[in-house]
Amino acid sequence: MDGPAADAPAVRLHPDDDVVVAMTALDPGRGLPDGTRVLEPVPAGHKVAVRAVTEGDPVRKSGHVIGTATRDIAPGDHVHTHNLRATGPVAHTAGPRRTGTTAASTWAGATFDGFHRPDGRVGTRNHLLVLCSVNCSATVARAVADAFRPRLPEGLDGVWALTHTGGCGMAGDGADLRRLRTTLRGYATHPNTGGVLVVGLGCEVNQLDELVDGLPAERLRTLGIQDAGGTRAAVDDGVRSLAELAEVAAADRRSPVPLSGLVVGLQCGGSDGFSAISANPALGAAADLLVAAGGTVLLSETPELIGAVEELATRAADERVARALRERADWWTAHAAAHGTTLDANPSPGNLAGGITTIVEKSIGAAAKGGTGPVVEVVPYAERPTARGLVVMDSPGYDPVSATGQIAAGAQVVCFTTGRGSCFGSVPAPALKLSTTTDLARRLPDDIDVDCGTVLSGTETTAEVGERILRAVVDTASGRPTSSELLGYGLDEFVPWTEGITL
């Protein structure tokens, strides 16, 4: 399905579906293309039954079973939480692997203007970062960045203090500390980072020398507050260190780079019933084009992919990748159970209001962001992929945590689809916001970069919007600011993943 007719009241996504998606709010008595009459008010983006379903039977949308009817459903009924529930844990039924589809290399030879770094990677921005080893050094880190900002030379895009709540009160050999260090090291060596100052307190679990051990020294400075003689002295020392880093980073200049040098993080937040029809498939089309040109895309938010894991596994490059996908799905199912919940607790209230009822339904749309190509690798949170193409990076579904991991893994641009209107931005990787509807783009004009609602209106195809998204990615990678950058987003959205206890 490539988009409904401009005046269609509802759209059927697959011939086997029991429901259609309302393209606009539907009143009782409204006729649908198959002759069904709507029996009750149905909000835009929500589901309407076009077949009778008996209590206890499966309900299909997009060709997938998205849940089980909790009562008899008649053609014309509104189908949502009052008569549909999640079926339960999704079983792993190993099917034959498919190679996926490969988009035509229409962007072969295309370039963006980026900053070449010593390790061979290329930046889309040239930022100075001030990172903290522990929450106790967060205030000094912010004070250093604020004091230096008026002195920022030309050639640099900004100076930012990225703070967090961890670094102490945690096991010195635990998974949370390892993950925090991996994340901070990923930001310190990110291709969009022209220079980094890491600020520590001195007595924390996340010791400064262990955190930065082995990192390239030319663009790195460290600062210990206790060693410096307290807060004021540390701020003065930090400003001097940033001045040294700025001198090196400001000498960098943009030059053309093939699209194979791009890593793009794929995110969705505040999804609605249109996400799986417009923005997410259009982003998937852009992802296919970028991968065909040699680039890499990171698909994450593992709990929100749970209902699509088997479909992704059939596209795995080999059995090792398929097994890794299933193992992460099993881990998340067990992790939720250990905390007294299930993955069906997702969708969020906003997703429900937008027409998404079950986690499988949400997964169908979430997975569409990755396109149709083979999954070449599965990597842990915040770790850099070793292969190019469609990569699944394990992460929670919470957008700031997931995007933080993608950036630590090397994403130089983030593409973020939204149906309800999530306000998000990230540093040092710029975030492009993609709306599912033109109405949302009009209501939140300062937050949306790409309107994908033209798929719904029929004025553009999914493929055409995908081309437009990739053009926006290239322009952003070459220096054009995004809406979230202009609004100053990115500081509070730095949220490393923690899952353990606080000691």
Taking a C-beta distance cutoff of 8 angstroms, is the pair 83, 42 a contact?
no
Question: pLDDT tens digits, residue range 289-322?
Answer: 999 999 999 999 999 999 999 999 999 999 999 9
* pLDDT-wise least confident of 3-17, 45-59, 404-418: 3-17
**pLDDT value, residue 87:** 83
**pLDDT value, residue 94:** 44
* 368-386: average pLDDT: 97
At CA 400, angle to CA 299 and CA 434, rounded to 5?
60
Taking a C-beta distance cutoff of 8 angstroms, is the pair 246, 128 a contact?
yes
Q: Sorting pLDDT into bands at 50, 70 and 90, what band is 96? A: very low
| pTM recorded for the entire structure | 0.94
Q: How many CA atoms lie within 13 A of 168 on its CB side?
A: 14
What is the Cα–Cα distance from 117 to 497, expressed in whole angstroms? 27
Tell me: pLDDT of 97 over 70.
no
Q: Sorting pLDDT into bands at 50, 70 and 90, what band is 342? A: confident
Question: pLDDT tens digits, residue range 106-158?
Answer: 898 999 999 999 899 999 999 999 999 999 999 999 999 999 999 999 999 99
Q: Sorting pLDDT into bands at 50, 70 and 90, what band is 448? A: very high
Residue reference for tokens 């003065």? 236
For helices 462-477 and 279-292, the axis angle rounded to 10 degrees is 60
Scanning 196-318, the segments in alpha helix (DSSP H) are: 208-212, 225-228, 231-249, 279-292, 309-314
Burial 245-282 (b: 16+ CB within 10 A, else e): bbeebbebebeebbbebbbbbbbbbbbbbbbbbbbbbb
Distances (CA, A) of 20 to 46, 164, 387: 8, 44, 39
**pLDDT value, residue 91:** 45
**pLDDT value, residue 503:** 72
DSSP assignment of 296-335 equals EEEE--GGGGGGGHHHHHHTBSSHHHHHHHHHHHHHHHHH
Structure tokens at 251: 């000498």
Tell me: pLDDT of 346 over 80.
no
Q: Sorting pLDDT into bands at 50, 70 and 90, what band is 92? A: very low
255: β partners = 114
* 406-433: average pLDDT: 97
On average, the pLDDT of the chain sits at 94
* CB count in 10 Å sphere of residue 331: 12
Tell me: pLDDT of 2 over 70.
no
Scanning 138-295, the segments in alpha helix (DSSP H) are: 138-148, 175-188, 208-212, 225-228, 231-249, 279-292
* 241-266: average pLDDT: 97
Give the chain's end-to-end CA distance (angstroms, integer): 52
Cis ω on the peptide bond leading into residue 118 (within 30° of 0)? no
Pick 228 or 344 by higher pLDDT.
228
**pLDDT value, residue 345:** 77
Share of the chain above pLDDT 70, in %: 95
What is the Cα–Cα distance from 240 to 246, expressed in whole angstroms? 10
Tell me: pLDDT of 1 over 90.
no
Tell me: pLDDT of 5 over 90.
no
* 271-290: average pLDDT: 96
**pLDDT value, residue 101:** 52
Tell me: pLDDT of 252 over 50.
yes
